[in-house]
Amino acid sequence: MSVPSSDILLDRMMSLHPKIIDLTLDRMWRILGALGHPERRLPPVIHIAGTNGKGSTLAMIRAGLEGAGHVTHAYTSPHLVRFHERIRLAGDLIAEDTLSDLLDRCLAANGPDPITYFEITTAAALLAFAETPADYCLLEVGLGGRLDATNVIDTPAVTVITPVDMDHQQFLGDTLGAIAAEKAGIIKRAVPCIVGPQAEPAMEVIEDRAARIGAPILAHGQHWHVTEERGRLIFQDETGLLDLPLPNLIGAHQVQNAGTALAALRALGKDDAACEAAVTRAEWPARMQRLRHGPLVDAAPQAEFWLDGGHNPHAGRALARAMSGMADRPTYLVCGMLNTKDPVGFLSPFADIAHRIYAIDIPGQIATLTAADTAEAATRAGLSADFAEDAMDAVQRITGKAPAARILICGSLYLAGDILKENG
């Protein structure tokens, strides 16, 4: 089987800069200038930053806009199986020939100058969005916000900041306030900023940034509220109350993400039908996703499989809450994490929920935390832990003792992508 042209070009792009991450906007301004500034020719932009819930919130906003009949572009990262997932062009994943052409043009525009993989591929996405008609463009920040490659839009229609937590401290700072300051870098003068639930140190920084530059804030707990009541989602802001079905994305944390998405849609002037579409039609793989087919399921037909790419303490708490509501089966974890993450912080919330964790390496990832180290961290987090050769070995060991176990595969989006690739 021949290798797609885009894969060859993307491999070339990995070698254009000695660092994977090098936060600055200088190289973006250079390549965008060489491309004729596509960032200035986009449809109205919804720009989304935050530590947790960015992707789910984007998926719900997109579902709401499309439910209202709008054509949307969307840019997300990282991808799970193929790069094409990152660029959704007028509602569809970007086609191979279109992507290859865009990457060729960006390589030519960049010339011999250094540029990171994320920067040049973000430039390709912006070029695609500028050249294809749509009503809205949703951009998810890759890392941080202030110096992220997506932060080149002068006047978005709306900015969104989902919950901020400790993550990527080596790039963003080692306090919640410092990380929030980087996320708040996407706020623009006179542009409404929707703010999801925040810890007080993060909220103070976000409010200060908005006040200094003159941006109106629409914050959870102040300007809008969302709760689950009697199996329904209740959202209220200054324009009124919405009584909606619960989100089709599973977990109590998705109620909060839905509230953020609904606040954004209301700020854009969308009606109740768009809001209902947001919570009932959103799709977002590897976020409490039920696996129903593939080799793992075939190997353990009585077991119940769930997949989630969450990888920081906030995500661990959200996942543990979701799993604690499923008490009809014994819960086991299969976990692989990167060595840049906090495994004890992520796993601690599962101490009273999971019967046992089987740690594995993340296939193909140089930065994987070894299975033995993940298991040791799990023990420090209060879990009964062991390690396995791979996901299949872990599943066979779990179901050898508990055939009808509930198995959550978690710890990394890279692991989630590998599982999805191997299981269809």
Listed by start position, the domains of the chain span 5-281, 289-422
- What pLDDT, on the 0 to 100 scale, is given for residue 415? 96
Two structure tokens written together for 177: 């306030």
- What pLDDT, on the 0 to 100 scale, is given for residue 82? 94
Contact criterion met (CB below 8 Å) for 358 and 332 = yes
Q: Which CATH architecture fits 5-281? A: 3-Layer(aba) Sandwich (3.40)
Confidence of residue 376 (pLDDT cuts 50, 70, 90): very high
Q: Among all chains, which residue has been given the structure tokens 């969307």?
A: 74
Contact criterion met (CB below 8 Å) for 145 and 139 = no
> Residue 209, exposed/middle/buried by CB under 10 A (0-12, 13-18, 19+)?
buried
**5-281 against 289-422: fold identical:** no
Examine the pLDDT at 97 and tell me if it is beyond 80. Answer: yes
Examine the pLDDT at 344 and tell me if it is beyond 60. Answer: yes
- What pLDDT, on the 0 to 100 scale, is given for residue 17? 87
Confidence of residue 21 (pLDDT cuts 50, 70, 90): confident
Contact criterion met (CB below 8 Å) for 254 and 55 = no
Omega before residue 78 within 30° of 0, cis: yes
Residues making up the chain, counted from first to last: 424
Confidence of residue 67 (pLDDT cuts 50, 70, 90): very high
Examine the pLDDT at 1 and tell me if it is beyond 60. Answer: no
**Mean local confidence (pLDDT), 303-328:** 91
- What pLDDT, on the 0 to 100 scale, is given for residue 226? 98
3-state secondary structure the chain: CCCCHHHHHHHHHCCCCCCCCCCCCHHHHHHHHHCCCHHHCCCCEEEEECCCCHHHHHHHHHHHHHHCCCCEEEECCCCCCCHHHHEEECCEECCHHHHHHHHHHHHHHHCCCCCCHHHHHHHHHHHHHHHCCCCEEEEECCCCCCCCCCCCCCCCCEEEECCCCCCCHHHHCCCHHHHHHHHHHHCCCCCCEEECCCCHHHHHHHHHHHHHHCCCEEEECCCEEEEEECCEEEEEECCEEEEEECCCCCCCHHHHHHHHHHHHHHHCCCCHHHHHHHHHHCCCCCCCEEECCCHHHHHCCCCEEEECCCCCHHHHHHHHHHHHCCCCCCEEEEECCECCCCHHHHHHHHCCCEEEEEECCCCCCCCECCHHHHHHHHHHCCCCEEECCCHHHHHHHHHHHCCCCEEEEECCHHHHHHHHHHCC
d(CA 423, CA 6): 23
pLDDT > 70: percent of the chain: 99
Confidence of residue 59 (pLDDT cuts 50, 70, 90): very high
Q: Name the packing angle between helices 117-131 and 26-34 (round to 10°).
A: 40
Backbone angles phi, psi at 305, to 5 degrees: -110, 135
Per CATH, domain 289-422 is 3.90.190.20: yes
- What pLDDT, on the 0 to 100 scale, is given for residue 64? 98
**Mean local confidence (pLDDT), 328-357:** 95
Confidence of residue 83 (pLDDT cuts 50, 70, 90): very high
- What pLDDT, on the 0 to 100 scale, is given for residue 14? 87
- What pLDDT, on the 0 to 100 scale, is given for residue 2? 62
For 220-271, how does the pLDDT look when each residue is reduced to its tens digit (9 = 90+)? 999 999 999 999 999 999 999 999 999 999 888 999 999 999 999 999 999 9
d(CA 265, CA 260): 9
Lowest mean pLDDT among 13-27, 88-102, 171-185, 344-358: 13-27
Q: Among all chains, which residue has been given the structure tokens 């959704």?
A: 88
